[in-house]
Amino acid sequence: MKIAIFGTGMVGQALSGKLAELGHDVMVGTRDVDQTLANTTPHPYGFPAFSVWVKEHPAIKLGTYAAAAQHGEVLINATNGNGSLHALQLAGEANLNGKVLIDVSNPLDFSQGNPPLLSVANDDSIGEQIQRAYPQVKVVKTLNTVTASLMVDPQQLAGGDHHLFVSGNDAAAKAQVVAFLKDEFSWKEIVDLGDITTARGAEMYLPLWLRLWGALGTGVFNVKVVQ
Give tens-digit pLDDT for 47-81: 899 999 999 999 999 999 999 999 999 999 999 99
pTM of the model: 0.97
**pLDDT for residue 45:** 76
**pLDDT for residue 71:** 98
**pLDDT for residue 95:** 98
Cβ neighbors of 197 (< 8 A, separation 6 or more) are: 125, 128, 167
**pLDDT for residue 114:** 87
Give tens-digit pLDDT for 189-212: 999 999 999 999 999 999 999 999
Give the chain's residues under pLDDT 70. none
Q: Where are the domains of the chain?
A: 2-216
Among residues 87, 85, 119, the alpha carbon closest in space to that of 4 is found at 87
Architecture of domain 2-216: 3-Layer(aba) Sandwich (3.40)
Terminal CA-to-CA distance of the chain, rounded, Å? Answer: 37
- Measure the CA–CA gap between 10 and 48, rounded to whole angstroms: 8
CB 164 within 8 A of CB 181: yes
Dihedral, CA of residue 70, residue 148, residue 122 and residue 124, to nearest 10: 0
CA–CA distances in Å: residue 62 to residues 33, 51, 95, 159, 226 = 7, 10, 17, 33, 42
